[in-house]
Amino acid sequence: MNLVIDVGNTSVKLAVFQGSSVIFKEILELDLFFDKIQKIHTKYPLLKNAILSSVSHMRDQDVKLVTSLFNTLLLDHTKKMPFANLYSTPQTLGVDRMALIAAAVDQFPKKDVLVIDAGTCITYDFKNQKEEYLGGAIAPGLRLRYASLNNYTSKLPLLELAAPEKHIGNSTNEAIHAGVVNGVLYEIDGAIDEYCNIYPQLTVILTGGHAHFLSKRLKNSIFATSNFLLEGLNHILAYNNSQ
Using one digit for the tens of pLDDT, what is the confidence trace for 78-99? 999 999 999 999 999 999 999 9
Last residue of a domain, one of 50, 74, 98: 74
Whether 243 maps to a domain, the answer reads: no
Whether 206 maps to a domain, the answer reads: yes
pLDDT digits (tens, 9 = 90+) for 32-57: 999 999 999 999 999 999 999 998 77
pLDDT at 67: 96
Q: Is residue 223 helix, strand or coil?
A: strand
Last residue of a domain, one of 26, 55, 74: 74
- Listed in sequence order, the residues at least 6 apart from 126 whose beta carbon sits closer than 8 Å to its beta carbon are 112, 113, 114, 115, 133, 134, 135, 136, 195
Examine the domain organization and report whether 70 and 154 are in the same domain: no
- Listed in sequence order, the residues at least 6 apart from 118 whose beta carbon sits closer than 8 Å to its beta carbon are 141, 142, 184, 188, 206, 207, 208, 209, 210, 211, 214
Q: What percent of the chain is modeled with pLDDT above 90?
A: 92
Examine the domain organization and report whether 182 and 154 are in the same domain: yes
Whether 217 maps to a domain, the answer reads: yes
Examine the domain organization and report whether 118 and 154 are in the same domain: yes
Among all residues, which ones are annotated catalytic?
A: 96
Examine the domain organization and report whether 170 and 93 are in the same domain: yes
Query: Is residue 78 annotated as involved in ligand binding?
Result: no
Examine the domain organization and report whether 47 and 156 are in the same domain: no
Whether 54 maps to a domain, the answer reads: yes
Examine the domain organization and report whether 88 and 167 are in the same domain: yes
Long-range contacts of 10-14 (CB under 8 A, 24+ apart): 10/120, 13/229, 13/230, 14/40
Examine the domain organization and report whether 168 and 133 are in the same domain: yes
Last residue of a domain, one of 74, 92, 122: 74
pLDDT at 8: 82
pLDDT digits (tens, 9 = 90+) for 120-151: 999 999 999 999 999 999 999 999 999 999 99
pLDDT digits (tens, 9 = 90+) for 176-220: 999 999 999 999 999 999 999 999 999 999 999 999 999 999 999
Looking at the structure of the chain, the number of domains it has is 2
Examine the domain organization and report whether 42 and 131 are in the same domain: no
Examine the domain organization and report whether 89 and 30 are in the same domain: no
Whether 172 maps to a domain, the answer reads: yes
Whether 47 maps to a domain, the answer reads: yes
Side chain identity, residue 18 = Q
pLDDT digits (tens, 9 = 90+) for 57-66: 788 999 999 9
Task: Output the domain CATH number for residue 154.
Answer: 3.30.420.40
Examine the domain organization and report whether 8 and 115 are in the same domain: no
Q: What global pTM score does this model have?
A: 0.93
Query: Is residue 133 annotated as involved in ligand binding?
Result: no
State the Cα–Cα distance between residues 35 and 45, nearest whole angstrom.
16
- Listed in sequence order, the residues at least 6 apart from 98 whose beta carbon sits closer than 8 Å to its beta carbon are 75, 77, 81, 85, 232, 236
Examine the domain organization and report whether 64 and 89 are in the same domain: no
Q: Is residue 241 helix, strand or coil?
A: helix
Query: Is residue 67 annotated as involved in ligand binding?
Result: no
Query: Is residue 96 annotated as involved in ligand binding?
Result: yes
Whether 238 maps to a domain, the answer reads: no
pLDDT at 68: 97
Domain that holds residue 31: 2-74
Q: Is 10 a residue whose pLDDT tops 90? A: no
pLDDT at 18: 95
pLDDT at 221: 86
Whether 64 maps to a domain, the answer reads: yes
Q: Is 243 a residue whose pLDDT tops 80? A: no
Question: For residues 166 and 179, which has the higher predicted lDDT (pLDDT)?
Answer: 179
pLDDT at 185: 97
User: Mean pLDDT over all residues of the chain?
Assistant: 95
Q: Are 204 and 16 in contact (CB under 8 A)?
A: no
Query: Is residue 72 annotated as involved in ligand binding?
Result: no
Examine the domain organization and report whether 127 and 217 are in the same domain: yes
